[in-house]
Chain A
Amino acid sequence: SQTIHQWPATLVQPVGSPLSLECTVEGTSNPNLYWYRQAAGRGLQLLFYSVGIGQISSEVPQNLSASRPQDRQFILSSKKLLLSDSGFYLCAWTRGGLYNEQYFGPGTRLTVT
């Protein structure tokens, strides 16, 4: 069966520090991968998605970037965190093709101080 992992589960970082959040999927190949930020009252904001290695689409211009160095690995990064980057970050995957169902990871709670 397929599983999706995210780490770390929680993270507290000072303003101006770098960020790296990792997401990996097991049990499938060539998944579509997604990064979301979840905020109360604002729902799920799509940040990035990828349909293959090295292919990244950015939905919202901001202080974050994403990379996909391997087929089942998706990384969310920042060179210098802002206070506004605090939030709950979710990674998700889908089979792609005709399949739209997305499966979500447990999330990372990021607090920028």
Chain B
Amino acid sequence: AQRVTQPEKLLSVFKGAPVELKCNYSYSGSPELFWYVQYSRQRLQLLLRHISRESIKGFTADLNKGETSFHLKKPFAQEEDSAMYYCALGKSSGNTPLVFGKGTRLSVIA
């Protein structure tokens, strides 16, 4: 069965410090991984997907199939990065729901 694990419920870092939000997945097939973010009083939105290999708002995430991980990283945290972050796993076919982790709340301290 597919599973996504985000081991930290809460992560607090100081402004300017590096950030790493951990995500591990369990899936025997070819995974498609996403990071979603929910800022205060805003709807849940897609931050990035591994296929795109892009950097959004300074965040990057690399799919490591050997370690079955998809950690989200940013070299210098900003206060506006404070939000709830969810890692999600999809199958190669789009007709099944994404499997979400339980989320990590990132708090960036000034």
A residues neighboring B (CB under 8 Å): 32, 34, 38, 41-44, 46, 49, 51, 59, 90, 92, 94-107
Contacts and interface: CB of A to CB of B under 8 A. Distances in A.
A42 B105 CA distance: 12
A44 B86 contact: yes
Given A43-B103, A44-B86, A44-B100, A104 B95 contact: no
Contacts of B90: 100
Given A43-B86, A43-B101, A97 B94 contact: yes
A106 B44 CA distance: 8
A97 B32 CA distance: 14
30 contacts: A32-B95, A34-B97, A38-B44, A41-B102, A43-B100, A44-B86, A46-B97, A49-B97, A51-B95, A59-B97, A92-B44, A95-B94, A97-B93, A98-B94, A99-B94, A100-B32, A100-B34, A100-B49, A100-B90, A100-B91, A100-B98, A102-B46, A102-B88, A102-B98, A103-B45, A103-B46, A104-B36, A104-B43, A104-B44, A106-B43
B53 interface: no
Secondary structure class of chain B's binding surface, majority of residues: loop
Interface of B: 9, 32, 34, 36, 43-46, 49, 86, 88, 90-95, 97-98, 100-103
B92 to A, nearest CB: 8
Given A43-B101, A43-B102, A100-B91, 4 more contacts: A43-B103, A98-B94, A100-B90, A103-B46
A98 B97 contact: no
A97 B95 contact: yes
Contacts of A100: 32, 34, 49, 90-91, 94, 98
